[in-house]
Amino acid sequence: MGIFDFFSKDKKESLDKGLEKTKQSFLSKLTRTVVGKSRVDDEVLDELEEVLITSDVGVETTLKIIERIEARVSKDKYVGTDELNGILKQEIAALLEENNTNDLQDFVTPNDTGEPYVIMVVGVNGVGKTTTIGKLAHQLKTAGKSVVLGAADTFRAAAVDQLIIWSERVGVPIVQQGMGADPASVAFDTLQSAKAQGADIAIIDTAGRLHNKVNLMNELTKIKNVMGKIIPGAPHEILLVLDGSTGQNAFEQAKQFSLSTEINALAITKLDGTAKGGVVIGISDQMKVPVKYIGVGEGIEDLQVFNKAAFVESLFN
- Is the pLDDT at 139 greater than 70? The verdict is yes
Decide which of 63 and 100 is more confident: 63
Q: What is the DSSP letter of 143?
A: T
Query: Does residue 292 contact residue 305 with C-beta atoms inside 8 Å?
Result: yes
pLDDT at residue number 88: 93
- Is the pLDDT at 107 greater than 70? The verdict is no
Instruction: Give the mean pLDDT of 286-308.
Output: 89
SS (H, E, C) 227-252: HHHHCCCCCCEEEEEEEHHHCHHHHH
pLDDT at residue number 82: 86
Distant-in-sequence, close-in-space partners of 162: CB < 8 Å, separation ≥ 6? 130, 131
pLDDT at residue number 301: 87
Nearest to 251 by CA among 272, 218, 280, 294: 280
Instruction: Give the mean pLDDT of 168-176.
Output: 97
pLDDT digits (tens, 9 = 90+) for 8-53: 567 888 899 999 999 999 999 998 988 888 889 999 999 999 999 9
Instruction: Give the mean pLDDT of 129-156.
Output: 94
Interstrand relation of 265-269 and 237-243 (parallel, antiparallel or unpaired): parallel
- Is the pLDDT at 4 greater than 70? The verdict is no
Alpha-carbon gap, residue 174 to 165, rounded angstroms: 10
Cα within 13 Å of Cα(168), Cβ side: 6
Decide which of 97 and 108 is more confident: 97
pLDDT at residue number 114: 81
Alpha-carbon gap, residue 65 to 45, rounded angstroms: 10
Alpha-carbon gap, residue 120 to 237, rounded angstroms: 6
- Is the pLDDT at 228 greater than 50? The verdict is yes
pLDDT at residue number 192: 97
Average pLDDT taken over every residue of the chain: 88
pLDDT at residue number 6: 45
The span from the first CA to the last CA of the chain, in angstroms, equals: 23
Cα dihedral 72/76/78/83 (nearest 10): -50
pLDDT at residue number 103: 55
Reported as a pLDDT band with limits 50, 70 and 90, residue 104 is: low
Reported as a pLDDT band with limits 50, 70 and 90, residue 204 is: very high
pLDDT at residue number 218: 85
Reported as a pLDDT band with limits 50, 70 and 90, residue 284 is: confident
